[in-house]
A and B are shown apart, each in its own frame.
Chain A
Amino acid sequence: MSYAIALSFLVAALAPTIVRFAGRASPWILAILPASIFAWFLSLTGRVREEGSIVQQITWVPGLDANLTFHLDGLSLLFALLVSGIGILIVLYGGGYLKGHPQLGRFYLFLLFFMGSMLGVVLASNVISLFVFWELTSFSSYGLIGFIHEKERSRAAALQALLVTSLGGLVMLVGLILLGSMGGSFELTQLTLQDSLSEHPFYVGALLLILAGAFTKSAQFPFHFWLPGAMEAPTPVSAYLHSATMVKAGVYLMARLNPALGDTTLWLYLVGGIGLVTMVVGAYLALAHTDLKKLLAYSTVMALGQLTMLIGLGTELAIQAMVVFLLVHALYKAALFMAAGSIDHETGTRDVRELGGLAGVMPLTFAASLVAALSMAGLPPLFGFVGKEIVYDATLSLDSGAALFTTFAVLANIAVVAVAGIVALRPFLGARRQTPKAPHEAPFTMWIGPALLGVGSVVFGLLPALVGPTFMVGAASAVLGEPQSFELALWHGFNLPLLLSAITVASGVILYLAWPRLRTGFGNFDRLFGEVPRLGYEWTLDALARVAAWQTRTIQNGSLRWYLFVIVAFFVALTGATLLFRGGIALPDTTGSVHIFEVIVAIICAGGALVVVLARSRVAALASLGITGYALALLFVMFSAPDLALTQLFIETLSVILLTLVVIYLPPLRRSEATPGRTRPVVRDAVVSALAGGLVTLLVWGVIANPLDMTIPEFYGENSYTQAHGRNIVNVILVDFRAIDTMGEILVLALAGIGVFTLMRLRANRARAPRVFAYRLAPEEERGLVPAERTDIAGPLPDDDEWEQDERGPNS
């Protein structure tokens, strides 16, 4: 099984190359891949039937319980055959549909990549690898919906589908992790054997989270809106991903987990209920549209709802109905999509109001879609009839709610009959209409698919035993978790389901005939159930953009002053509160022994710092800074550290000189940098600064309340001369004990020198030749929502032409 998946990925990667070299033959060459996979899975049918399941295990990341475990049972087999079988037809069809398209290679890349991923989903037994493949299908769906990528609608639709399904996917991952911890295993084969999961305290949480993933993927109400949007994709994609396979991944997952999580009231109400709502809403939403693909998309929503509902009901009959309808739907819906694509391809429009009388020019397409439509409407002797009978049978035989479920199933199916008529009869019957392109019969690759699927619908309808005992029974057994045996038949005699079928078809025909007049009425229904969820999605994105812009304006407003304030205030609040509430305050008892000189030096120090802040000219500020520095040097002298004092004196002198040199060239200090009308928050800043200073003092007091551990200084004193050949401990520390620190510090010094040098030099160079740099930055003006960074301090930044130009931006 792993080979089938790996091979798909490999061929996908090679697809662009194959298309480039094989040209027109490439669809046929590429179709070999799904065909051989299909054949291989078909050959395994017997083994699966005898052994129940085939398991393959590949160790991947065992430390995280993620292994590539594959497991082929009846359900997986049915899906694998659908994925690969329809895959053959789609590969051929896509070649015709996109003939000559320059990106055909990439189309096949994504398509086959999807096929591999989808096979992974239905074969994976390990929930983590299931999730991996699940997300890969979302990704390939993204690439395929956005295939016509220069159209903005395509991009938006692709994004919508991706966001909805991958949000659901992530939520589901959390659910799967919970499930794994509940069941003590990440293997579905193990999990489905357990029947006490529903009593676990995590059950409700895990169920809701997993269903979120399944519902979004399978477009259940109210997440169904992304599926009609996804019709922006080329039609082969819609036929494959968005009706026959990917959207059924959610259904697959629910079916798969039915033995583990099903059979509770919550499951019944949630899965059954949401399925019911989706079924009815989808069916009638379809009638509001005239676009062939939209009609089909909404009827797909209906089908997904019906499948979900049947899983929710969970009775043996319901599950049998589910697996049968799954196949029924795959056969007719893929065919109808392909036919719709052919019509679009040939005539240039998909609007049913503009189509008519095509039966003459496109007879083969007409025949194929007629068969599919009849199956969809559930008329004998087609397979759809078998499916509908068994669905009704299942709802009728419910212990409770039989009337409710049956009524709504009939109501939904009435609409389906009408939709079948609209998509398969209207474009072909009646008078010819003028269309953008003059239609011809679709090429062979494009009608063979619908035709073969139509044949399937007929053959399986007439001979349900062909698929019944082999595939249907196996799949149902897997879903129910225990072996089943039942037989399918076209004719059950005159009974209630037959009567309901008749009522359905009759009402459906009436609805079809009345549809042109009723359509506008369905528009209101569409606005409520179709538009509102979509608007909800859009509103969420808009709100997100607004919140994001607001937040960014507020916390990242471009003012350095504000940034520094936030940090200092945060320090005061956090460290202050911690000190207060974790009880760290302690006072040293040595307060009495402070020497008068120390006090004087401290006052000079603090005074100097204060003057720096208050000074009205830069030179004055620098001088005061120097005073603070010298006072510090004095302090070092008092505590007998002549080395430090000396260094401090030198550094202070040099930096004052250096800075004075810089300052001389600067314009005078400007005081009114803030926006007019806004006063500078002097008081706020002063208070916070004072608090920060006080807090540090408090911390230092707390520290010196206890005597310092002198082990290390004493070690230095003892070993400085004996071991390190030096009497000057400070120097020995610098060049020996902690020489690596010094290595770092001299590098810092060197870098500082280089920094000043390059700043000065490069600036000077640019003044001579303003366009030296090839990497000029894009203008910094506001773009969209958020103001560009600006500075509000009068820094040492001389004006230059380039900046002036940038600031004006394109608006000037």
Chain B
Amino acid sequence: MSWLLLSPMLIPFLGASVAFLAWNRPRFGQVVGVVSAVLLLITSVALLLDVHANGIRVVQAANWEAPFGISFVADHLSAIMVVLTAIIGLATIVYSLFDINRERTYYGYYPLLLTLLFGVNGAFLTGDLFNLYVWFEVLLLASFVLMSLGGTRPQLDGTLKYVFINLLASALLLVAIGLTYGMTGTLNMADLAVKLPLVENSGLVTAVATMFLIAFGIKAGIFPLFAWLPASYHTPPVAVSAIFAGLLTKVGVYTLIRAFTLLFTQDVGYTHQLLLWAAGLTMLTGVLGAAAQFEIRRILSWHIISQIGYMIMGLALYTPLALVGAVFYITHHIIVKANLFFVGGIIKRLTGSFELEETGGLYKASPLLAVLFLIPAFSLAGFPPLSGFWPKYILFRAGLEVESYLIVAVALITGILTTFSMTKIWAQAFWKGTPEGAARPVRGSRFRELRALYLPVMFLAGITIVIGVYAQPFLELAQASAAELLDSRAYVESVLGEGAYDPVLALTGSELGVAP
């Protein structure tokens, strides 16, 4: 069993090592990339099914019992995230096969992608705070190399900002982890869930919690910490942007969710209120930022931020339904956002530009692409019955349930402005005629060359439709996740053993306001 849980990490790591070893044979790198991605998808789906059937799965790496070694834990949320990673990983690698040139391949593009997947999965599966930090470092370095690979000046400029700000986040995170260890003497998250509520100086715990909020918040791209994202995401090749857009910020969101459901729940009234403000402002600034852009990748990048706001809203409201909304939103968003970047890449290949002004004529030239854009775009805007509708509806409902009308209003305005942005791309790139002087959209044989790029796009669009039309199973998974998140007992006991959570239960009765 332990092998299944760790395989989402081991497969890409093995693949990356082998591909690095055979660095002078780029073709081999491509093959390894595809094979690893397929295996990753199979094993991660198997893991999710296993978790769904048998409950939370735990592995104590190197066989040291928790909290002395490093625990890896797969609950519903982790398993879902791992599956999503595998889906996006596969789509990106397939897209890259037809879009990434030989030079980048030669410099290790595919193994780098695999290390990124390794890091992402590590972050989703680890049950150890310092280990999480290590995965963040892996992610940072892998994304740094992927982003700078190619080295055009704007790319380096974006990379520089990306790296500096993320290093600052890492530093904050490391300090926060150190402080947490100092307070509790442990790094195991299950153990922390038991020990943090028992720390006498609860004000200090809350202060350290805000540090985690900032460090993870930078990674997630929440207001006002998101500057690195719009500064960098539009610079690398579109396949790289797509996987970043789909996965990286969601690692931040995932860790925020983990931290503020498992670890820091002793002052929910304060910390989650902060999160709620952050959520609202993130939505608004993100969507307004998008409204000011006229370049496809920039528009999409800003929308990542506004969508992060919805997920944080779900966490901040901290009710079962709200967390269902957050998890559902992540699921939907990862698929849709990566896909929009892919479509953006095809638009660029067909018209020669990412600038809306210079694009046009695609509705005539490529009806297929038009459909493939409309699906993720209107899903992002929350149109039913596509995947984006359900989480929005859940979050509205969750907000109304606890009478947080302001955040619902903000979510609503953000929704309509998202429609505005998506129709902006649609009207310019698709409906508008080809602008004078611009290259005519590619047709004929060159067009057929690009067909392969449509494969991953269709794959992801299909998933979007399935989630939208056949939402019940996805809802059930999200519900299972939310239930686990709100009741840490199962998590703690499956890591530390029966009865480990009792000290907190004893406390909960008296002073802690841990939700149901």
Contact = CB atoms under 8 A, between A and B. Distances in A.
Task: State yes or no: do A and B touch (Cβ within 8 Å).
Answer: yes
Interface of A: 16, 60-64, 66, 106, 128, 131-132, 135-136, 139, 142, 146, 149-150, 152, 155, 158-159, 162-163, 166-167, 170-171, 173-174, 177-178, 181, 544-545, 547-549, 551-552, 555-556, 558, 560, 562-564, 566-568, 570-571, 574-575, 578-579, 582-586, 696, 699-700, 702-706, 708-712, 715-716, 719, 736-741, 743-745, 747-748, 750-752, 754-755, 757-759, 761-763, 765-766, 772-778, 780, 783-786, 789-791, 793, 795, 797, 800, 802-803, 806
Interface in B128-171: 130-131, 134-135, 137-138, 141-142, 144-145, 148-158, 160-161, 164-165, 168-169
Contacts of B417: 544
B454 interface: no
Contacts of A555: 224, 227, 285
A170 B415 CA distance: 8
A785 to B, nearest CB: 5
Interface of B: 13, 16, 20, 61-62, 64, 67-70, 101, 103, 107-108, 112, 115, 118-119, 122, 130-131, 134-135, 137-138, 141-142, 144-145, 148-158, 160-161, 164-165, 168-169, 172, 175, 179, 182-186, 195, 199-211, 213-214, 218, 224-225, 227-228, 230-231, 235, 237, 267, 270, 274, 285, 288-295, 353-355, 357, 363, 367, 378, 382-385, 389-390, 393-394, 396-397, 400-401, 408, 412, 415-417, 419-420, 423, 427, 430-433, 471-472, 475-476, 479
Contacts of A548: 288-292
Given A566-B224, A586-B201, A790-B157, A773 B103 contact: yes
Nearest to A164: B416
B68 A709 contact: no
Given A552-B292, A739-B61, A64 B141 contact: no
Contacts of B175: 696, 699
Contact of B150 (A136, A544, A773, A806): A773
A747 B267 contact: no
Contacts, number: 344
B400 A181 contact: yes
A744 B201 contact: no
Contacts of A748: 134, 137-138, 141
B440 to A, nearest CB: 14
A146 B427 contact: yes
B152 A736 contact: no
A178 B367 CA distance: 40
A760 to B, nearest CB: 9
A549 B293 CA distance: 8
A549 B292 contact: yes
A69 B247 CA distance: 37
A744 B119 CA distance: 8
| Main DSSP-derived SS at the A contact region | helix
A61 B145 CA distance: 43
Contact of A700 (B165, B182, B285): B182
A804 to B, nearest CB: 9
B443 to A, nearest CB: 15
Nearest to A709: B185
Contacts of B107: 754, 757-758, 761-762
Given A563-B228, A703-B183, A751-B145, A582 B206 contact: yes
B178 to A, nearest CB: 8
A750 B184 CA distance: 33
B292 A766 contact: no
A231 to B, nearest CB: 18
Given A163-B419, A575-B207, A754-B112, A786 B384 contact: no
A584 B205 contact: yes
The 6 closest A-B pairs by CB, nearest first: A709-B185, A584-B203, A803-B153, A584-B204, A149-B431, A744-B134
A144 to B, nearest CB: 13
B383 A139 contact: yes
B419 A162 contact: yes
Given A155-B432, A166-B416, A566-B224, A741 B131 contact: yes
A150 B432 contact: yes
- Most chain A CB within a 10 A radius of its CB, from B355, B389, B393, B401: B393
Nearest to A750: B20
Contacts of A547: 288
A766 B151 contact: yes
B472 A795 contact: no
Nearest to A699: B179
A789 B431 contact: no
B99 to A, nearest CB: 8
Given A173-B396, A548-B291, A780-B154, 18 more contacts: A60-B471, A63-B475, A131-B384, A150-B432, A159-B423, A170-B416, A181-B400, A560-B161, A560-B231, A579-B207, A702-B204, A741-B131, A744-B135, A745-B137, A748-B138, A751-B115, A758-B107, A783-B295
Contacts of B408: 174
Contacts of A738: 69-70, 130-131
A708 B160 contact: no
Nearest to A147: B431
B423 to A, nearest CB: 6
Contacts of B118: 747
